[in-house]
Amino acid sequence: FVMTPLNSFSLSSRPIVLNTDGIIDIEIEKSRTKEVALVVDGQSPIELTFDDHIKISMIEEKVKLVFCSTKKFYSALRSKLNWSGGPHA
């Protein structure tokens, strides 16, 4: 599976490709001097301490996030952007 950072403030953030049964285990360093927070899908931040562990794995269920028929998509674009449809319009 692929874990992708969304809306990252860093240009060096890249997707990570993992085996489908892979697990990412994140442990907060004891020597950490700044606060650490976890934010998932725009939810309120969860403050973490040095003894916290975060495990990330692939979910078994499949989720369909978006469905858009091509015809309706371009009709909506044409309407919202006030396109008339012709190249010289």
Assigned domain for 79 exists: no
9 part of a folded domain: yes
Residue 52 counted as domain residue: yes
| CA 37 vs CA 4, 9, 23, 40, 62: distances in Å | 18, 15, 20, 10, 28
Q: How confident is the model at residue 73 (pLDDT cuts 50, 70, 90)?
A: confident
Is the pLDDT score of 69 beyond 80? no
Answer yes or no: is 8 within a domain: yes
Tell me how many helices (H) and strands (E) the chain has: 1, 6
Contact partners, residue 12, CB within 8 Å, separation at least 6: none
Give percent above pLDDT 90 in the chain. 6
Q: Mean pLDDT of all residues in the chain?
A: 81
In a domain, 81, yes or no: no
**Domain residues for 16?**
2-59
- Decide if 30 is inside a domain: yes
pTM for the complete prediction?
0.51
Instruction: Kindly state the average pLDDT of the residues 65-71.
Output: 71
In the chain, the number of structural domains is 1
Sign of CA dihedral 66, 2, 10, 53: positive
Which of 32-36, 39-43, 56-60, 82-86 comes out lowest in average pLDDT? Answer: 82-86
Residue 46 is assigned to a structural domain of this protein: yes
